[in-house]
Structure 1
Amino acid sequence: MGCIDIFLKIDIVKRDELLSYLPWPLMYVLSDAKESAAELIDALLGGRYGYSGQWLDAEGRALRLGFSDADFLYSDKFEGPNPNIATIGCLPYVEAIFEGRNISNIVPSYISVLMKVFSECQSKNLKLTLADWICWLAEYTDKEFWKDYYELGVINEILSRYNDVDMSIAVFNLVDMAGWSEQSILYSKVSENLYFRSPGFGHFYGDLNEIPLLKICAYLEQDSKFMGFANLLCCYALLNPALKIPFPVAAIKALISNEHKLIKFSAHVILLLVEEINAIQFVSILPIVFESGKNLKSILNCLNLMLESSLFSNDQKILICVHAVRALDEAGSNSKQLFQERLSRILDSDLSGLATYEVWDRLGLPADAFIRNG
């Protein structure tokens, strides 16, 4: 059980990366753990969350039968896997169980139950859970499927409640079945989720190729209320380096002074990609976006994507690492270690001469951040 103690001490970004490799009961318990390691271990050994045999029975029940409205209502009483999970209640992180399996036979009944419970229940927490499930299951459907369930008010509320830390590409299925005037309302809601809910960069469910890029760019160009799409476009561009995206540059430029840190950051990344600003101008905003600590996970994930991307040179990556370390240090974040390690790896493999102070100085890198390699 010492591994739980070690896990809880890991930096939050690395912790999130490791979670997906854990069995779903541990994934759920550890994802938002507020207890000490000792308290958590006692709870697990004491059966507060059930035992392994019950978890396996619950998986079998989920795959054979799906969940009923009684299961969802019952699960709303618990913070984690409930001790009676083998016979009643639904499973958290059910997507981890269904991944790679053919669940098309149970999706229709699932969605029918979800929509019924969502419309009838009063619990805010349960509505959040149901909205996440509905948006996730939309991946297994097409637009035609949703016509039987479509009501603007209900879909709008689902998108308002949608609280998943990751963005499901499938939410566009819920939006695009609407008429044009209604689509504008729903696209606005998705955009709002993208900066208020702060999905992690690089953590998108579904096929990125299904994103309606032209519509998103058009909406963003049309009105600043769609500014959340800057976040999505930024992520999409970094994950698809060969794709030429028709960025609405004038609209993106208008967002660089936005008060929302994630939007400001996303706009700067896009402008760097289209060479409207240079790397030195880009790194100048890092102290600003790290200052409050808001949206830190998303911003760090995006920086990691930039450092892995072929779109940026080693010189640019070194500049980003150096300034990220400095800005995170000033913000009091221990995440600076991620970029110190990355910087060392780049310098180890680099042949540009950046391990010498003369080259470092010529490129305008800060003298106090110079790292002598070897």
Structure 2
Amino acid sequence: MQAQKALIKWHGDKALWYQLEGWLHDLWYLSEHWHRHMDAEGKRKFLWMRTNEYPWGVTPPKVRVSKASPPDMLSVSSGEASDAELNPVEEEDELGDLCDKTGGDLLGSEAGDSDNESSMASISFKKENKAMGVAVSVHTLLAAVSSIQQPGEVSGLRPTSPIIMTDSLPLGPANVPSIPPLSHQAQRKKRREDLGKACGCWSCYTNKIDAVRHCDSWFEGRVITLIAEYLFICEGPDAKAHHATPLLLQNAHDILDHPEKEDSNRLILAWLHKEIGLIHEMPEKCYWLIPAHVLGHWTLVLIDWDHQHVHFMDSMNERLGVEEDKMRVQEEVWVLMQLIDDGFLKDAWTWVSEQRPQCQTNSYDCGAFVLADMASYMATGMPSQMSQVHMRAWCHEIIGFVDSLPPLVYQKMIINPNAPIIYIDDD
């Protein structure tokens, strides 16, 4: 058995040997417990510990302390009676005998005269004093063993000694601290807060939000849309730009990649028309901001309705493959513009690439740069002047925005079974 080999190997290290022996002790009781419940007939003997694998052999109900002698520096004297060191094994035997005798007396032993009673009282008094000495000795031993653990060890993995169980204070119902249960309303609020955040008609789950709290994390599209909605609401009627979800260009990308999938494209077109209709219902703004996701990178598309310009903003405009990404986003924008206006003419519009020098120097702040440009255009109608040195403070500010948002709200949707079925068709 590997445990026995470990005991032999570390026999010289008394403190570690003591811990290994305690682990075997706990494992023995665990094996015996499940052996009685799961294999009472003994058909699966290979699963359980055998007697020869238990370091103390078959033990009676009384719990013995370790036979391994503790380190010299851990031995404790008995106090006023003598300066000699205590023998934990002998005193534990006497303590066990005393407990057995006391238990028998409590069960109804009525024999004995006054002399026997006085002699028993004297013996009990002496053994109780020795039991107190054992408790002090063992507690001091365990404290010293725990104090000399290696720095890499985890204290929570130290086995629980049976002496701690017998000497510890009893935990009755009166000693257990009561935790007041949460009300039903408080539980619902906590579940909503754990689920995610919401702002306007947009929401985001907690796992995507928690990723933003890491300085080198990736901004997911839902997070960008949620924060953009917050920035738009903060500007109120003075906001100079609308924003849209990145799914607009992503769905246009799917239509370009899979023109043969007529059924799925029909559903995509229906969803795009719905989102475009929501934009048309909003008050007119000069700009329309749409985050665009390319391969492993976030960019931003700005549609200038007054001047008929499409600005492509990229915080890493000197990276490898930037021209291919720009051409891809341009195709997606033209598809979207044709859906917005049936009389759209591509030649009447001007595509403006990124003119600013590259401002991003790492591989993960692209989402933060997109939000910086969106916030600047909503507030002033101008691009952001932030650089890489401002990103850490800006990300902390974004986290504050998200934390201030309300949690998700559960809504019950009542479906009318008598409502007509809606068919989505080209007509």
TM range (shorter): under 0.3
The structure that is helix-richer by fraction is: 1
* TM-score (norm. length: structure 2): 0.19
The structure that is strand-richer by fraction is: 2
Greater radius of gyration (CA): 2
* TM-score (norm. length: structure 1): 0.21
